[in-house]
Amino acid sequence: MIELKNISKSFGDRKILDNISGTFVKGKPNLIIGASGTGKSVLLKCIVEIVEPDEGSVLYDHRNFTEGDKNLKIEIRREIGMLFQGGALFDSKTVEENVKFPLDLLAKMPRDEKYDRVNLCLNRVGLQNANKKMPSELSGGMKKRVGIARAIVNNPKYLFCDEPNSGLDPQTSIRIDELIRDITYDYGTTTVVVTHDMNSVMGIGENIMFLYKGLKLWEGNKDEIVRSGVQELDDFVFANKVMMAMREK
Amino acid sequence: MKDFGKYFIFLGNLFVNRESFRTYYRLTVEECVLIGINSIMLFALVSTFMGAVTTVQTAFNLVAPYIPKYVISQVVREMAVLELAPTIMAIIYAGKVGSSMAGNLGTMRITEQVDALEVMGINSISYLVFPKVLASLLMYPLLVILSIVCALAGGYIVAFFASYITPTDYIYGLRYAFNPFTITFALTKSVVFAFLVSTISSFKGYYTEGGALEVGQSSTQAVTTSVIAILIADYLLAQLMLAS
């Protein structure tokens, strides 16, 4: 479980996040949704502390990450897997080396075991024959899947995904969503996904947080989202023609 | 002033939360190949021509009949050892290696590869920059030695094929009144310049913000700042080590 307590963040005079609190539950996909520029990615970066929040704290299973000492931060960070928007694969390494990278640096296990684990993760994401390919040879969807394989190779307790569907076709988007959902249920990870894709919301949105101009306006699940009664959320949800058609029916 | 402080904090971060010796060994060897082995041809070519041109220009200026011919190669030696090999080559080194370091780190930054390392709990400054600095400190002095040898060889080629000075006089001049301290001075400069180029370029690249345009700007700034730092350090070292 991850708890956010009064997270605020400004860049210069511009307030990006304003007093955000909430809880991300274990074993379910948790979604942070909102239009572009509402602070979703900044919130995610504050949670993993790539960006330091100005105020508030983040608790990982009751351990205060924000105010913890250096050793606690390293300990928690080594329990985190993260999928970045562009994949963030290391250009100079092959797919196999990219996925093996966290094991090389963070895990103490025999060499053969590392390769078995890498192959297992690549199989999990459906890339069993891509071991020797370079990131430049991969499509956008494949990069995302390699990113997921790298994120889960170390058996993370917490999985973060920043816009996993951006730039992908609808079919690949659904496959990525299903993969994230299956990994979350199978391994019992606390998964947090940042997205503005309504297909993802309706597909895997078990616990959803809606951000609007840096404020948390609503929290619920995919069944409740269509009758939230929050105007800003309705504007966001029903901007999609398919959702609009569903409402009219 | 703010950047100056940030640079020293950046340097401090090189030495904290380090990874295993084996990790750094492998990364440093890779960087040595990129920095050192891949620069040999450029250094050899530039140095040979610099030595040859210095010989011709010195001969052109020493027209008085009472000045012995071997003075030409003596001047070439002092020029190559004291200034051309360590300093001028450092400027070329900043252009080739420094810009590459800044571009590489800048690209890693804007494509979130640096963030990926940080999220894994890895000190990205130490992991990415420390091997570059170490490799630079190891390889640049060797490149300077190569450069000195090539510059003197370039002068010899001119002596052999042109009529400014005989090869015998050239060799005599190279050995005449040689002060070994000049080599110590050149190698000291090479270590200082290697440190400045690698750390300044890495600093500029590591803190790149924005996109592809900013990566280019970081590379340019890395070269400009490195060159200024080299020239200031060159004067300070000369004042400290040579002024009596």
Q: Is residue A84 part of a domain?
A: no
pTM of the model: 0.87
A148 plus A168 within the same structural domain? no
Confidence grade of residue B44 (pLDDT, cut at 50, 70, 90)? very high
pLDDT at A244 over 80: no
A77 touches chain B (CB under 8 A): yes
- Nearest Cα of chain A lies from the Cα of B33 at a distance, in angstroms, of 14
Contacts of A82 in chain B (CB under 8 A): 116, 119
B119 touches chain A (CB under 8 A): yes
Confidence grade of residue B20 (pLDDT, cut at 50, 70, 90)? confident
A62 touches chain B (CB under 8 A): no
- Name which residue leads in pLDDT, A7 or A166: A7
Expressed as residue numbers, the domain containing A147 is 92-155
- Provide the ipTM: 0.85
Q: Is residue A85 part of a domain?
A: no
pLDDT at A243 over 70: no
Out of A50, A75, A104, whose CB is closest to B118?
A50
Confidence grade of residue A249 (pLDDT, cut at 50, 70, 90)? low
A188 plus A232 within the same structural domain? yes
CATH code for the domain of A6? 3.40.50.300
Q: B244: burial class by Cβ within 10 Å (0-12, 13-18, 19+)?
A: exposed
- Name which residue leads in pLDDT, A174 or B186: B186
In the prediction, which pLDDT does B160 show? 85
A74 plus A185 within the same structural domain? yes
A72 plus A185 within the same structural domain? yes
pLDDT tens-place string over residues B49-72 = 999 999 999 999 887 888 898 999
A89 touches chain B (CB under 8 A): yes
Q: Is residue A87 part of a domain?
A: no
CA distances from A107 to A87, A101, A110 (A): 22, 10, 9
In the prediction, which pLDDT does B238 show? 94
pLDDT at A203 over 90: no
- Nearest Cα of chain B lies from the Cα of A80 at a distance, in angstroms, of 7
Domains in chain B: boundaries: 20-235
Amino acid at B21: F
pLDDT tens-place string over residues B84-111 = 999 999 999 999 999 999 999 999 999 9
To test the contact with chain B by mutation, choose from A105, A144, A152, A192 the residue with the greatest count of B C-beta atoms within 10 A, namely A105
Confidence grade of residue B4 (pLDDT, cut at 50, 70, 90)? confident
DSSP-derived letter for residue B2 is H
pLDDT tens-place string over residues A50-94 = 899 999 999 999 999 998 888 888 889 889 999 998 889 998 899
Greatest mean pLDDT among A16-30, B44-58, B113-127, B154-168 lies in: B44-58
Q: Which of A107, A126, A155 is the last residue of a domain?
A: A155
- Nearest Cα of chain B lies from the Cα of A246 at a distance, in angstroms, of 38
Which residues in A154-249 belong to E strands, given as ranges?
158-162, 190-195, 207-212, 215-220
Confidence grade of residue A32 (pLDDT, cut at 50, 70, 90)? very high
Beta carbons of B205 and B92 less than 8 angstroms apart: no
Q: Which of A135, A155, A175 is the last residue of a domain?
A: A155
Contacting residues for B128 by C-beta, under 8 A, at least 6 apart: B105, B108, B114, B117, B202, B206
Contact between chains at A90 and B113 (C-beta distance less than 8 A): yes
